[in-house]
Amino acid sequence: MSESLLKHSSKIQPEHVDLIEGYLYEEAPSPWALEVNHVNGLGVLSGFFSNKEELDKHQTHITSSLGQSVQFHFSTESIYEQDWKEAYKKHFQPWSYKGVNLIPLWLKESHPVAATDISIYLDPGMAFGTGNHESTRMCLEFLIECKGDLCMDGSFIDLGCGSGILSLVAKSIGFQNVLGLDNDNDAVRISHENALLNDLKGSITFTTQDLNNLDDSIGKFNFVMANIQADVLISYADLIMSLTDENSVVVLSGILTQEIAQVLEKFRSLNKSSEFNYTTKEMGEWSAVKIYK
C-alpha cells in the first residue's frame, strides 16, 4: 500500500486571502498552498504533512502568526502518495512566453516545444516557485522581454530565489553571471536540484544569504530581481539599488496593486537623476514594476 500523507485544510474568507498570501511569501518554502476562487474570492489553505508532529508544528506556527487576524477551521484527511502526485499535476501546467517554456517534469517527454525554444523543467513536488503565481509570471515576462538586449551578456541577481526558477531562465536566455540568494537553506537546496534537472548545475551560483548580512563585496549587477513583498522591498530599497550600476534594470514584484504607489514613491526618492523611468504590469490583484536606470 502507498504511504499516506496528512492533508490539513481550512477555508479562507476573501478578506483574509491577502494576509495568507503575504505569510506564504515570507515563509517560502512552505508546506502550505493557497487556492483562490477568483469568482467569489474564497480561498482554501492546504498543507501536506508526513506525520502528526510535523502537522502540529506548522499549524502552531501559522496560527500564532495570523491567528489574531484570521479565523482558521482546519480539517484533516489522509491521502495516498499517488493522489498527492496527481493533485499537483492538475495545478502545475506548462506555461510559455515569447519562446520560453516552463514545463512540469512529468511532461518532459510528452509536451512538444519548438526546436528554437528554451525549456525549463521543474520538479512537480515543489509547491512554490513554479511560475504559476501572478507575481512570478510578471517577473518572468519582464525578464524574457529583455532577451537579446545588450545587458544579456552581463550579470543577474535574484534576491529571494525560492525554487531558482528566475535564475534558471536568466541563465538560459543569455546572462553569464547569475546569482540566486535566499535566507532559507531548503530554497537553496531546491534551486540546486532544479538546476541539475536542467543541466545547469555549476553554471549558476545559489547561496544562503540574509539581506541583513549581505557582503559588501558582492558587486554590481546589470539586472536585479526582487520578488518578495512590498514592505520588504521598501525596507531594503537602499540595499537593492546599491547592487545596480548606472545602466542596470531592476524588477520588483510580490506587490499588491494597492501597495504599488508606496513602492514607487520609495524607489523614486532614491533616484539621483532628474528622470525616473519605469514600467508596470498588473495581473489579478498583483503588480510588478521594472525600473530603468
Question: What pLDDT digit, counting tens, does each position of 92-133 carry?
Answer: 778 899 999 998 888 888 888 998 999 999 874 544 566 678
Residues 155 and 286 in one domain: yes
When comparing pLDDT for 179 and 30, which is higher? 179
Residues 84 and 215 in one domain: no
Determine the distance from the C-alpha atom of residue 11 to the mean position of all C-alpha atoms in its chain, rounded to a whole number: 23
CB of 11 closer than 8 Å to CB of 36: no
Confidence check: pLDDT of 9 > 90: yes
- How would residue 82 be classed by pLDDT, with cut points 50, 70 and 90? low
The confidence score (pLDDT) of residue 48 equals 84
Find cell 490539513 and name the residue: 8
Average pLDDT over residues 264-283: 90
Alpha-helix residue ranges (DSSP H) falling in the chain: 17-27, 52-66, 81-91, 134-145, 165-173, 185-197, 230-235, 237-242, 260-269
Residues 29 and 160 in one domain: no
| 155-159 vs 221-227, strand pairing mode | parallel
- How would residue 80 be classed by pLDDT, with cut points 50, 70 and 90? low
Residues 68 and 144 in one domain: no
Residues 201 and 284 in one domain: yes
> Residue 52 is which amino acid?
K
The alpha carbons of the chain give a radius of gyration, in whole angstroms, of 19
Residues 32 and 165 in one domain: no
- Give the chain's length: 293
- Has residue 109 been placed in a domain? no
Q: Which residues 6+ apart lie within 8 Å of 117 measured at CB?
A: 96, 99, 100, 101
Residues 86 and 165 in one domain: no
> What is the span of the domain harbouring residue 10?
4-91
> Residue 229 is which amino acid?
Q
DSSP letter (8 states) at residue 3: P
Question: How many structural domains does the chain have?
Answer: 2
**pTM tops 0.85, yes or no:** no
CB of 103 closer than 8 Å to CB of 129: no
In this structure, how many other beta carbons lie within 10 angstroms of the beta carbon of residue 143?
24
In percent, the amount of the chain with pLDDT more than 70 equals 90
Residues 75 and 167 in one domain: no
57: domain CATH number is 3.30.70.100
Q: What backbone torsions phi and psi does residue 6 show, to the nearest 5 degrees?
A: -100, 120
Residues 218 and 77 in one domain: no
Helix axes 52-66, 17-27, angle to 10 degrees: 120
> Where is the domain boundary, 91, 123, 149?
91
Q: What is the largest CA-CA distance in the chain?
A: 67
- Has residue 104 been placed in a domain? no
What is the distance between the alpha carbons of residues 269 and 10, in angstroms, rounded to a whole number?
Answer: 41
Which residues on neighbouring strands pair with residue 256, listed in sequence order? 286
- Has residue 215 been placed in a domain? yes
